[in-house]
């Protein structure tokens, strides 16, 4: 049985992660939420705080509108706000875009557990698997079990630097609820980033993870 989609009138987006790929995604979404109906125009991007010289990375991002450490030379829309506090970044968000290294997923989800919006849903761009002594789990399962929210997956032959230069790329979003899949397609798709959707969360995720293993 497919549960009713968690769609709200105005979706608020938070990007959890701010490395090279996370910043590229935040940049793209920052433009899209202004152009598309049904999205709050502000995006909060969670940044693991670190020092760049004598300045905090979040301060530099918000001042220069550029991730000087992980995506130098590429401008970020002013509506993307770098936030060092994870709970503050996720507060009120109905869409969590999770773009972090797979080894940090359990820790991040543990901190978010019980503290996400009741209508929240996630899309995972995380590559890899959760590996423990008891076996291997897909990252989407880890997120879903910890946060008790629906999870879509996004994967493709996507290179962050090429997308930051707006070179044409294609990707696939796997969904269980078509409305949520279509919502994420609207959120992510641009003239240079073509998005297909398919009713197969795990298949999309596994293809992405296996691609990484083959490199």
Question: What's residue 133's pLDDT?
Answer: 83
pLDDT in tens, 152-171: 999 998 999 999 999 999 99
Domain residue limits at 134: 13-214
Q: How many domains does the chain have?
A: 1
- What single string gives the DSSP state of each residue in 20-76? HHHHHHHHHHHHHHHHSTTB-S-EEEE----EETTEEHHHHHHHHSB-TTTSTT-B-
Question: What's residue 28's pLDDT?
Answer: 99
Question: What's residue 208's pLDDT?
Answer: 80
Tell me whether residue 4 is in a domain: no
Which residue positions in the chain have pLDDT lower than 70? 1-3, 210-215
Question: What's residue 4's pLDDT?
Answer: 75
Tell me whether residue 163 is in a domain: yes
Tell me whether residue 65 is in a domain: yes
The active-site residue, picked from 64, 148, 167, 211, is: 211
Question: What's residue 1's pLDDT?
Answer: 45
211 is catalytic: yes
Question: What's residue 170's pLDDT?
Answer: 97
CATH number, residue 24: 3.40.50.720
Question: What's residue 3's pLDDT?
Answer: 67
For 57, the token pair is: 């990375």
Q: What is the DSSP letter of 165?
A: T
């Amino acid at each position: 049985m497919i549960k009713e989609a968690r769609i709200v009138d105005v979706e608020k987006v938070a990007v959890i992660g701010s490395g090279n790929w996370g910043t590229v995604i935040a940049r793209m979404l920052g433009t899209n939420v202004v152009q598309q109906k049904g999205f709050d125009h502000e995006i909060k991007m969670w940044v693991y705080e670190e020092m760049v010289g004598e300045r905090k990375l979040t301060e530099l991002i918000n001042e220069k509108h550029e991730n000087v450490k992980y995506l130098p030379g590429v401008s970020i829309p002013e509506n993307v706000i770098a936030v060092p506090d994870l709970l503050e970044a996720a507060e009120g968000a109905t869409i969590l875009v999770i773009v972090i290294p797979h080894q940090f997923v359990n820790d991040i989800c543990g901190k978010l557990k019980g503290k996400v919006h009741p209508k929240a849903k996630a899309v995972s761009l995380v590559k890899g698997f959760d590996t423990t002594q008891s076996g291997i789990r897909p990252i989407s399962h880890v997120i879903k079990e910890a946060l008790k929210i629906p999870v879509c997956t996004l994967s493709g032959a996507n290179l962050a630097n090429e997308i930051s230069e707006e070179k044409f790329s294609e990707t696939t979003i796997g969904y269980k609820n078509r409305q949520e899949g279509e919502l994420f397609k609207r959120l992510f798709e641009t003239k240079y980033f073509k998005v297909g959707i398919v009713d197969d969360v795990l298949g999309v995720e596994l293809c992405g993870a296996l691609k990484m293993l083959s490199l």
